[in-house]
Structure 1
Amino acid sequence: MNDHESPVDERFTAAYWDERYGSTERVWSGAPNPQLVAEVSDLRPGTVLDAGCGEGGDAHWLAVRGWHVTALDVSAVALARGAAHAPPDAADRIRWEQADFTTWEPGGAAFDLVNAQFLHFPSALRERVYSRLADAVAPGGTLLIVAHDPSELHTGMGHDHPEDMFVTATQLAGGLDPARWEVLVAESRPRLAQAPDGREVPVSDAVLRARRR
């Protein structure tokens, strides 16, 4: 590391996430994210990149509906768990790949859908990561990004992320070139979520859905 490089935040490393996933039988519910279901159910299945797939809830749901999924995550533990729990009738439609999104590069504009649910980074790094994800969308394809809206900082949900890792839908949409993208949805969408103490609390998701021209 030279004098101009800063150390990588441990929250973005494979070691951090392998330890988190390895410390419990399951981190997430296994159900697909609700905004994915809301925004993708009307799309014709094709190829999809599921960025930050975790234990595979979204990837499983997409594959069952006929999508051919490339599921990426930094954690090998999460990927192995996702593969182990894939629906038998759809497992052959999912390819599981390890990827570090701080350095990952798309292999071209190849996907009919790119899905990124709660893939959070500080603003400077987030812009670079999301730009690369957008570059992976094929012409006519869809980019779907869902993130924690900054209003969630005041809900008691127990997030330990700094404020800079939260983002509004307006900020997400502002990162897209209007000459290349048609923004279909850019809104803060309320829903109920379960807090660490078991209470149901109202939260808001920043939802961006855009079509590449």
Structure 2
Amino acid sequence: MSTDHQHTHHHSQPDPAADQFSAGFWDTHYATKTRLWSGRPNRWLVTVAADLTPGRALDAGCGEGADAIWLAERGWQVNGTDVSQVAVERARAAAEQAGVADRITFAVGDLRDDIPAEQAYDLVSAQYLHLPSAIRRPAYARLAAAVAPGGTVLLVGHHPRDLDGPMPRPQDPDLFADEQELAAAFDERDWEVVVAQARPHPATHPDGHEVTVYDTVVTARRRG
């Protein structure tokens, strides 16, 4: 559920955009293109998961399935959820095409309401879920609660400094959390925060030139 391309949304369409976090908004947004995202796994997931022993993974906000497929190809059993039925159907089709559909369960789910099974996953990944803080904080707490002892949670989002950067971003500071905010939510009695950084990387501006953007990247491991 990345906000990367929200500026391309045509607000002249019927108004599911009244709630930009709803299934209606995202189904409409996905319908504007046959494929919305690159089809490549997110860079920080690849960096983190490459060193982990495959187990059970939850890909929260799975979009068109690239991360879940990458994990499944490396031996993970994956649950992928997204608020958009259109995205979930595309993800299922992509998993079939990649030959890993038997290792992934995709389902429609809304992080505002859904509570994943507690301590059920060896990896929980949430990539670019830009939600208002009043929604984001309890949602991230539920995702963290889903991590099994010894497991890892990876939270990635566009960094607040991008609000003043070269890439168009929604001009709502409440949708962006920095590494200090995300890391502070992990009780050190139960968690080891392994990474809490603002990480730069290249990105392509809508007009075609390359710019540098920043991501908030937090990785934490549940003790035990």
TM-score, structure 1 as length reference:
0.93
Residue 95 of structure 1: how far off its partner (Å): 0.2
Q: What SS does structure 1 have at the residue aligned with 2:47?
A: helix
Q: What SS does structure 1 have at the residue aligned with 2:189?
A: coil
Residue 161 of structure 1: how far off its partner (Å): 4.8
Q: What SS does structure 2 have at the residue aligned with 1:106?
A: coil
Within a 5 Å distance, the mapping from 1:23-62 to structure 2 comes to 23-62=32-71
Alpha-carbon contact 1:188-1:207 (below 8 Å) kept = yes
Q: Does 1:66 align with 2:75?
A: yes
Q: What SS does structure 2 have at the residue aligned with 1:145?
A: strand
Question: d(CA) in 2 for partners of 1:71 and 1:161?
Answer: 29
Pair 1:210–1:58, CA change in 2 (3 A): same
Residue aligning to 1:4: none
The residue identity in structure 2 corresponding to 1:107 is: A
Question: d(CA) in 2 for partners of 1:73 and 1:29?
Answer: 17
Superposed CA RMSD = 1.3
Residue aligning to 1:207: 217
Residue 127 of structure 1: how far off its partner (Å): 0.6
Question: d(CA) in 2 for partners of 1:118 and 1:171?
Answer: 15
Residue aligning to 2:132: 122
Residue aligning to 2:13: none
Residue aligning to 1:5: none
Question: d(CA) in 1 for partners of 2:19 and 2:185?
Answer: 26
Alpha-carbon contact 1:69-1:93 (below 8 Å) kept = yes
Residue aligning to 2:10: none
Greater displacement, 72-81 / 150-159: 150-159
Alpha-carbon contact 2:82-2:110 (below 8 Å) kept = yes
Alpha-carbon contact 2:163-2:171 (below 8 Å) kept = no
Pair 1:161–1:113, CA change in 2 (3 A): farther
Question: d(CA) in 2 for partners of 1:138 and 1:60?
Answer: 21
Question: d(CA) in 1 for partners of 2:222 and 2:216?
Answer: 19
The residue identity in structure 2 corresponding to 1:173 is: A
User: Over residues 193-212 of structure 1, what are the superposed CA-to-partner deviations in whole Å (9 max), with x where a residue is unaligned?
Assistant: 11111111101111101100
Q: Which runs of 5+ in 1 are unaligned?
A: 1-7
Alpha-carbon contact 1:155-1:201 (below 8 Å) kept = no
Residue 89 of structure 1: how far off its partner (Å): 2.7
> Which residue of 194, 204, 211 corresponds with 1:194?
204
Alpha-carbon contact 2:200-2:213 (below 8 Å) kept = yes
Residue aligning to 1:19: 28
TM-score, structure 2 as length reference:
0.89
Question: d(CA) in 2 for partners of 1:53 and 1:169?
Answer: 22
Question: d(CA) in 1 for partners of 2:215 and 2:86?
Answer: 27
The residue identity in structure 2 corresponding to 1:186 is: A
User: Over residues 46-76 of structure 1, what are the superposed CA-to-partner deviations in whole Å (9 max), with x where a residue is unaligned?
Assistant: 0000000000110111111111000000000
Q: Does 1:170 align with 2:180?
A: yes
Residue 9 of structure 1: how far off its partner (Å): 6.1
Q: What SS does structure 1 have at the residue aligned with 2:130?
A: coil
Q: What SS does structure 1 have at the residue aligned with 2:20?
A: helix
Q: Does 1:99 align with 2:109?
A: yes
Residue 170 of structure 1: how far off its partner (Å): 1.1
Residue 160 of structure 1: how far off its partner (Å): 2.0
